[in-house]
Amino acid sequence: MAKKSSRKSSTKRQRSERRFLPQSASNPWLVRVPGALGGMGIGAGVWGYLYGHFTPVEGAAAQGTTYNIPLFVLAGGAVLTAAAIWFGTSSEAAIRVGDPGISYEKGDIRRMPWWKVKAITFEGGSESLVVTGKDEADADFSFRIPARAHPAAVAWIVKEAKDRVPKKLDVDETTLGRIGEPSDEGTKILLEPLTVVGRRCAVSKKLIAYEPDAVVCPACERVYHKEKVPRKCACGNEFSGVKVTASEDEGDSDEGEAEAS
């Protein structure tokens, strides 16, 4: 059954997204133990080195024999600290999820709008969420999001996909239970209103020349001309408070069909 949206289709509504940084996939103890030992080693090495410079020379050192034990301790602590940092960081990309779609951020941001999502599946072997579709430039785009490195992002993508493009979410109930409900993690970012001028109607392909002529689906952000608004968007969302101006046949356009830029 199509889900009816209570949100008004408006290009002026406040848009937002959440940005998630990757977590280390390593065992936490591989970070804590070397980090603690490294910190103690650096502290002890510095103290021993300075203590040796500001105390009277005795014993073997007075006879010209020196031992650089503090420097070795300092170097060992630095190595352990570097290892802890290496184990504690991840090479995975940052992920953004929100009104504009799903974004893969590794240097540059590459975004897949919700209406261009082809499928969202889960790979059991790699324990990764796989997102397939097209990016904003209409180029084929597919990427994996490891659940271990991005548990919060995976949960948010699943939650948003259920609300926005439920027909594209292909994840079994057992896996959904393991993914769990989304938390408040991630940095919330407020975005500018969607630019609709220059876009084309998803039904008629007519160019949107004036902003008031556009009707935007609040779920997937697909754009329609006000003269060709279907009762139900291709994503399954039913428009509320908007005059239907397209026939049933026109409204049943293929969701996977690419919209001209």
Residue 9 has pLDDT above 50, yes or no: no
CA distance 81 to 31: 9
pLDDT digits (tens, 9 = 90+) for 39-61: 887 887 777 777 766 555 555 55
Q: Tell me whether strands 117-123 and 128-134 are parallel, antiparallel or unpaired.
A: antiparallel
Above pLDDT 90, what percent of the chain? 53
Q: What is the mean pLDDT of residues 100-108?
A: 94
Q: Which DSSP string corresponds to 158-175? A: HHHHHHH-GGGEE--HHH
Element (H, E) at 72: helix 69-88
Q: What is the mean pLDDT of residues 95-110?
A: 95
Is residue 81 within 8 A of residue 144, CB to CB? The reply is no
> Residue 137's pLDDT is what?
93
Residue 6 has pLDDT above 60, yes or no: no
How would you class 17 by CB atoms within 10 Å of its CB: exposed for 0-12, middle for 13-18, buried for 19 or more?
Answer: buried
pLDDT digits (tens, 9 = 90+) for 148-176: 889 999 999 999 999 999 999 999 999 99
Cβ-based neighbours of 118, under 8 Å, separated by 6 or more: 132, 133, 134, 168, 256
When mean pLDDT is compared across 14-18, 61-65, 92-96, 242-246, the lowest value belongs to 61-65
Rounded to 5 degrees, what angle do the CA atoms 118, 120, 125 make?
135
Residue with tokens 């300092």: 74
| N-terminal to C-terminal alpha carbon distance within the chain | 30
When mean pLDDT is compared across 68-77, 90-99, 188-197, the lowest value belongs to 68-77
CA distance 151 to 121: 15
